[in-house]
Amino acid sequence: MESKLKNKKILITAGPTREYLDPVRYITNESSGKMGYAIAETLHELGADVYLISGPVNLTTTLPKEKITYVKTANEMYQECQKHFYSTNIAIFCAAVADYTPKITSEIKIKKIDDECSLELKKNIDIAYEFGKVKTRFQQSIGFALETNDILANSKLKLEKKNFDLIVMNSPTLDQGFGHDTNKISILSKDMFIDNFALKTKKEVAVDIANAIMDYSRAFQNLVDLSF
């Protein structure tokens, strides 16, 4: 299928990250990676040059193997994104990156000795925020917001803080979001235009997101790069 995204280089992060306490224990979250994979597959079918950086997931995919790099931690995900971001036209930050990581990762399995023990955590790198700072006007980025409350206000704050062009809003309810095959989204753009969609399969949602990116990228079509 011919599309505006043909040969555009698109970086996508997907899935959860694991933050290790020791070699066999980690903190993670419920993300299945289904939404990010559906987006990557849809964009690949539209002819885009897709690079998927995936956290640990349990999914099969139609994407060619060489298009996927598997990582475990947020830090590894950031390092992999560094390799691609600067030559990317569009970056889609779909991963549910863990916000915190253990202050210390033990190299050996932690023994159970005391009745109580506490865990010290430190903030993880915010991948989308870091790339939002260096993004040029020839690049677009899309983020995701999964909120339980004040979804619009929180999404708007994220869009601005992380310098996204579009943010996909969803909420974690019974039949949508994390782990499910369906999702109900709204897309908020930088110019504060909002598009609401019905509950759909993640594959259909991925098509809606691809269309939103194509519509939005129309504004980029006539931009001339005079930075040489």
Specify the residue, 127 or 210, whose C-beta has the smaller distance to ligand C5P.
Answer: 127
Contact between residue 162 and residue 129 where contact means Cβ atoms under 8 Å apart: yes
**Measuring CA to CA, how many Å separate 134 from each of 55, 58, 141?**
23, 32, 11
How far is Cα 206 from Cα 73, in angstroms, rounded to an integer? 25
Positions in 50-89 near ligand C5P (CB under 6 A):
74
Q: Which helix (H) or strand (E) holds 93?
A: strand 90-93
Is residue 29 part of the annotated active site? The answer reads: yes
How far is Cα 170 from Cα 141, in angstroms, rounded to an integer? 17
To the nearest whole angstrom, how small is the minimum distance from the Cβ of residue 189 to ligand C5P?
Answer: 15
In terms of residues, how long is the chain? Answer: 228
Q: Does 95 bind ligand C5P (CB under 6 A)?
A: yes
> In terms of Cα–Cα distance, which of 159, 207, 164, 215 is closest to 185?
207
Q: Does 158 bind ligand C5P (CB under 6 A)?
A: yes
Specify the residue, 5 or 15, whose C-beta has the smaller distance to ligand C5P.
Answer: 15
Stretch that binds ligand C5P, among 100-108, 124-132, 182-190, 195-203 (CB under 6 A): 124-132
Interface size with ligand C5P, residues (CB under 6 A): 15
| Binding stretches for ligand C5P (CB under 6 A) | 13, 74, 93-95, 97, 124, 126-128, 143-145, 158, 162
Residues recognised as catalytic: 29
